[in-house]
Structure formats: structure tokens, C-alpha cells
């Protein structure tokens, strides 16, 4: 095969994520062969810019793909071809990469989020820090307020060292949610569309904390280049996280959740497969994410028609019995394709990629804590019916 037909290099120079994004943009077909320094080998099969299959050792499909994604050093070789005849990986490239990057970050942080029986509070770290968008640094002493709920502001930070605790003011009380550590973002991309909106939570320093101030002007300019659909995606995922944070605070403060759900509503099944992507869209009417127990159904979050959401059961299902979507007979939950969203994933800056990935991780974390709170409340309800 002529050298001009081969693309090769080192993973230490170009990451597997960047390589696959390039091949996806080029709508390439063929196979990516990967050679680790310890002699291990693997292959990723692509067709028309999407990953169709992967193999490594005795693994295949997504398991092999996620294993290969952990390889940080070694060589790669792309051989163009017609691509495989059958497809074993059905998730689109954007969803596949987001999930893989999230898994790598979680592995690097060695299970940085934990909620153990020893009494340690929930702790969520972020991805590796992108220093190119940091324009200043702020030092905060233990107990100082970084953000106060209800105040207006458009600053965005990333935690460089130390940790902070998030609180939700509700029912006249300050309810702690969880701690954020190195690499976590304070603020969201919604800032660029909803300028000077009130903050939805308070943030306090725990010990000494060093924050990096992000270049909001540059990020705002980048945000304006996104397609309307992609701008909506950032906004709607932020709304989803805000609602789930409110639900978690209400559960922890023993306040009631809405149970006024129309009797005609039923459980909705997502069309397509949950592995087809990380994002879904509500069609045909309003839908809710609910906890459906034996004797009660509680609304956890609400989604208007055409809302985009991070599907909580996609990719990495949570062990929350009774977590369902509900709506009327005209409502459906459908996967969002790259083509529909106009996501231009390959053109996103590293900061925006990591910000979106961190938002997805935060949604999953908050839902896990909601599940724990529901379990605690359920046990309390067994002995004290008035506690609900």
C-alpha cells in the first residue's frame, strides 16, 4: 500500500480522541490499528466517520473501545478501506467519545466521587485542567464565599487546588449538596446566553482554595459560533442539572416533592437504543423524569417539548429502582444525532468539551445522590408515614 494511503503517528503526540474526531470529520472508512509499548495491540473499525467495532485481546465492541481509550502511549496506524460489513457499536461518535472521556477522567481520579459509610461527604473532581483559557487566579481562605445563591454574576472558574462545597438555600435552610475538587467547574456555559442571571447555588471554600478565572470573553465568542441546537443543548443540560439539584436539596431537607402527575400519563420508553448517544430530545409534549415507587410517584425534573436532555439511563445505568420518564400518549424521548444537532464536536475548544463532559458527570452524580436520599426517605416512610 502506498505511504500516502497510510496515516500513522504516536498517541503521545495526538490523542486517540483527537484522531477519531479528525477521521469522523473526514467521514473516513477503514481501521485504526493501535500498538501499545508493552506489545499489546488493538483495532478500531470505522465506516463513514463512525466507529462500527473495536477489538482488543478477547474484548470486542464498546468494551474493547473503552480499553483502547485508556492507552496513553504507543503508536497508531490508520489503513483506509471500505469499513466493516456489520456494526457492533451503535452509539454515534460524539456520544461514544464523551462517554470514553468521562470514563478516563473517572479512572484517573481513582474514583474521586465517593460516598462511603465512614461518613465522608460526596466529592466530585473534574477533568484534567485546560490552562490556556485561564486568565487570572483567585485565592480563597477556608469558609469564604465564592458564589452566593441569588446573587448575579457571570464569572466562571475552574478549581486548581483544594475543594469547595456547594449549598442550596431552600425552606430557610442551607442544604449541602456535595464537594467539588480539582478540575471541577464553578458556573456553566449557560452564563453566555443568560447574562447576569442569579446563581442557583452557593459555593464555599473548604480549606485553602486556588481558583482559575476562565476567559469568559473568549468563551462567549466561541459560544456564539455554535449552532442554535448546540447552544440549546448546553442550556437544557444546565436546566436539567439545576432541577436535579433542587430535588436533591428538597429530599435532604425532608420537603415534599410534586406528585401531581396526570392519571393519563404513562411510562415512556426511549425510541432507538440508549447506547445511540448521550443526548435525547422530548417530542410531542412535556415529559418528566420521575421516581415511581410502590405507593407514590415523585417528579424529579420536568422537560418541555423539544428540550434536550442527558439521558440518565444511557451509557452507564444507575441503580435507582423506579427511575422512569413519564408523559402522555403523544410524547416520546428520541436520541439526538450529530447531524440533527449540528454539534461540530471537532471544532469545540478543549475547555468547552470538558465543561460539557463535567456537566454530564454532575447529572449522573446528582441522580446517584437522589437515589440514596430516596432510599433513606423510603426507609423512614416505613416507620413514620408523616415524614413524607
DSSP type of residue 386: G
Average pLDDT taken over every residue of the chain: 81
- The pLDDT, as a whole number, for residue 301 is 94
The predicted structure's pLDDT at residue 113:
42
Q: Residue 326: pLDDT band by 50, 70, 90 thresholds?
A: very high
Name the grid cell of 120. 465522608
Strand partners, 325: 268, 289
Which are the contacts of 110, defined by CB distance < 8 A and separation ≥ 6? Answer: none
Would you state the CATH architecture of domain 123-387? Sandwich (2.60)
Q: How far apart are the first and last CA of the chain?
A: 70
Q: How far apart are CA 355 and CA 186, in angstroms?
A: 10
pTM for the structure as a whole: 0.70
DSSP sequence for 56-104: ETTEEHHHHHHHHHT--SSEEEEEE-S--SS-S--S-HHHHHHHHHHHH
Task: Output the pLDDT for position 310.
Answer: 78
Question: What average pLDDT score do residues 75-91 get?
Answer: 88
pLDDT at 121: 66
Domain map (residue ranges) of the chain = 3-89, 123-387
Count CA within 13 A, CB hemisphere, residue 328.
8
Residue range 257-282, pLDDT digits in tens? 888 888 889 988 766 554 445 678 89
Q: Strands 323-327 and 157-170: what pairing?
A: unpaired
Length of the chain: 388
Q: Rounded to an integer, what distance in angstroms lies between the CA atom of residue 61 and that of residue 174?
A: 46
Q: Which residues pair with 55 in a beta bridge?
A: 43, 60
Kindly give the interhelix angle for 61-69 and 93-108, rounded to the nearest 10 degrees: 50
3-class secondary structure for 322-372?
CEEEEECCCCEEEECCHHHHCCCHHHCCHHHHHHHHHHHHHHHHHHHHHHH
Amino acid at each position: 500500500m502506498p505511504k500516502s494511503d497510510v496515516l500513522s503517528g504516536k498517541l503521545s503526540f495526538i490523542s486517540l480522541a483527537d484522531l477519531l474526531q479528525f477521521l469522523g470529520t473526514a467521514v473516513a472508512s477503514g481501521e485504526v490499528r493501535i500498538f501499545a509499548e508493552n506489545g499489546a495491540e488493538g483495532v478500531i473499525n470505522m465506516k463513514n466517520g463512525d466507529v462500527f467495532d473495536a477489538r482488543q485481546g478477547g474484548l470486542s465492541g464498546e468494551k474493547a473501545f473503552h480499553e483502547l481509550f485508556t492507552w496513553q502511549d504507543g503508536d497508531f496506524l490508520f489503513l483506509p478501506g471500505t469499513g466493516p460489513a456489520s456494526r457492533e457499536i451503535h452509539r454515534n461518535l460524539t456520544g461514544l467519545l464523551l462517554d470514553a472521556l468521562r470514563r478516563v477522567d473517572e479512572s484517573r481520579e481513582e474514583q474521586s466521587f465517593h460516598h462511603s459509610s465512614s461518613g465522608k461527604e460526596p466529592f466530585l473532581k473534574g477533568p484534567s485542567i485546560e490552562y490556556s483559557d485561564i486568565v487570572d487566579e483567585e485565592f480563597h481562605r477556608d469558609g469564604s464565599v465564592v458564589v452566593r445563591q441569588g446573587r448575579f454574576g457571570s464569572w466562571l472558574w475552574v478549581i486548581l487546588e483544594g475543594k469547595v462545597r456547594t449549598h442550596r438555600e431552600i425552606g430557610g435552610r442551607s442544604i449541602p449538596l456535595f464537594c467539588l475538587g480539582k478540575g471541577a467547574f464553578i458556573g456553566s456555559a449557560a452564563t453566555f446566553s443568560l447574562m447576569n442571571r442569579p446563581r442557583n447555588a452557593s459555593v464555599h471554600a473548604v480549606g485553602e482554595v486556588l481558583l482559575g478565572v476562565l476567559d469568559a470573553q473568549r468563551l462567549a465568542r466561541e459560544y456564539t459560533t455554535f449552532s442554535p441546537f448546540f447552544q440549546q443543548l448546553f442550556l437544557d443540560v444546565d436546566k436539567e442539572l439545576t432541577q436535579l439539584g433542587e430535588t436533591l436539596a428538597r429530599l435532604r431537607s425532608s420537603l415534599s416533592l410534586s406528585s401531581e402527575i396526570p392519571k393519563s400519563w404513562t411510562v415512556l420508553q426511549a425510541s432507538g437504543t440508549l447506547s445511540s448517544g448521550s443526548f435525547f430530545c422530548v417530542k410531542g409534549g412535556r415529559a418528566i423524569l420521575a421516581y415511581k415507587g410502590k405507593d407514590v410517584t415523585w417528579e424529579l425534573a420536568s422537560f418541555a417539548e423539544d428540550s434536550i436532555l442527558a439521558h440518565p439511563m444511557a451509557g452507564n445505568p444507575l441503580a435507582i429502582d423506579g427511575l422512569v420518564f413519564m408523559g402522555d400518549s403523544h410524547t416520546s424521548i428520541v436520541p439526538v444525532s450529530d447531524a440533527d444537532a449540528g454539534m461540530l464536536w471537532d471544532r469545540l475548544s478543549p475547555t468547552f468539551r470538558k465543561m460539557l463532559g463535567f456537566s454530564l458527570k454532575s447529572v449522573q452524580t446528582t441522580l446517584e445522590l437522589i437515589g440514596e436520599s430516596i432510599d433513606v426517605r423510603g426507609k423512614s416512610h416505613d416507620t413514620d408515614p408523616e415524614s413524607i
